[in-house]
Amino acid sequence: MSELIGHIANVVLPIALCVLTGYGLAVLKLPFDRKLIGTLVQNVGYPTLVISHLSAGHVVLSSFLVMAGAALAALAVSVAVSTIFLKLVGLPLRAFIAPLSLNNVGNIGLPVAALAFGDAGLSYSFAFLIVVLLGIFTYGTWVPRGSVSARGILTSPVIYALAIALLLLGMDMHLPKPLASAFGILGGLAIPLMLLTLGHTLATLELSAIGRGTLLAGFHLIMAAATGFGLATLFGFSGTERGIFILMCLMPVSVATYLFVELYTPEHAPDAASLILVSTLMTVLVLPVVLTYGL
């Protein structure tokens, strides 16, 4: 029990406090420009964080690519299983396939990885993050919108940052010290801003249909656990790799997917909001147990 309390205090509690701060800002109706902050994170925070950590040599290129391949496999399994489930329960793929298959590895996953496994864990988590971002930029927007466009991928600074980082990683090169320091400072913006944004978003979601949200969140958690532990064994992961992979699979539903549901299928937006909230709460409750007894 003391070990469980220790994990809550060291990993989950700092994240919860940051999220609650963002929640409090919303409750107090203080100025908080989510669009501006999202732009900063996507165009400055993520790219500099990716380059800063991968070029620092915390993980080797081959291991990073294996983790990315495993993340892609996890995403494929989630899409396939979610499609079957949604067909069985009679819910539209257009509204729910993206939320059920794309995890919140940014707002919650990166902080958990950093706190639980340090720099190496954070570097491995980027492999999962890149795959999820590709999912958001592709079918995560194409399916709700009902049309295909590659513009989101081609205009994303994160993709170009990944290419630069992988080049540096493959050539065993590091950024010049002044540039590395600057990227470290700018990349440090990403995690606290993401946590604040998550809390603020959860406070402003219009909730209803909690029952359906709970059903979907319960399915998501069971699917995520089975996928995470199953594929970790299949890929032969151990140590930090295994821990990061399972944790990223267990992350809650991505908040970003709600925006597309609200925009293109607004009749299902309350269900998606409830799914995100319940899924986030379930993850917060499950994480300490998994960190203590499952990894």
What are the pLDDT digits (tens) for 4-31? Answer: 666 666 777 888 888 899 999 999 999 9
- Give the CA distances from residue 262 to residues 90, 108, 208, 270, in Å, rounded to whole numbers and listed in that order: 19, 22, 14, 8
Asked if residue 195 has pLDDT above 90, the reply is: no
Nearest residue to 198 via CA among 113, 126, 280: 280
pLDDT of residue 3: 65
- Note down the domain range covering 52: 2-9+33-294
CA distance 193 to 10: 20
Number of independent structural domains in the chain: 1
Q: Are 209 and 121 spatial neighbours (Cβ–Cβ below 8 Å)?
A: no
Read off the amino acid at residue 87: K
Examine residue 127 and state whether it is found in any structural domain, yes or no.
yes
Confidence band for 123, pLDDT divided at 50, 70 and 90: confident
| Mean pLDDT score of the chain | 87
Kindly report, residue by residue over 163-175, the tens digit of the pLDDT: 888 888 888 888 8
CATH of the domain at 73: 1.20.1530.20
Examine residue 15 and state whether it is found in any structural domain, yes or no.
no
pLDDT of residue 209: 65
pLDDT of residue 119: 84
Examine residue 220 and state whether it is found in any structural domain, yes or no.
yes
CA distance 125 to 41: 16
Give the tokens for residue 259.
Answer: 């925006």
pLDDT of residue 108: 85
Examine residue 24 and state whether it is found in any structural domain, yes or no.
no
Examine residue 233 and state whether it is found in any structural domain, yes or no.
yes
Examine residue 26 and state whether it is found in any structural domain, yes or no.
no
- Global pTM reads 0.84
pLDDT of residue 241: 93
34-48, 116-130, 145-159, 273-287: least confidently modelled range: 145-159
43-52, 125-134, 199-208, 237-246: least confidently modelled range: 199-208
Kindly report, residue by residue over 57-67, the tens digit of the pLDDT: 777 888 889 99
Asked if residue 70 has pLDDT above 80, the reply is: yes
CA distance 133 to 114: 19
Asked if residue 208 has pLDDT above 70, the reply is: no
pLDDT of residue 243: 93
Examine residue 81 and state whether it is found in any structural domain, yes or no.
yes
Asked if residue 207 has pLDDT above 70, the reply is: no
Contacts of 111 (CB under 8 A, 6+ apart): 14, 15, 18, 191, 194, 195
Examine residue 71 and state whether it is found in any structural domain, yes or no.
yes
52-56, 85-89, 138-142, 277-281: least confidently modelled range: 52-56
CA distance 271 to 208: 7
Kindly report, residue by residue over 82-116, the tens digit of the pLDDT: 999 999 999 999 999 999 999 988 878 888 888 88
Asked if residue 78 has pLDDT above 70, the reply is: yes
Percent of the chain scored above 90 by pLDDT?
A: 35
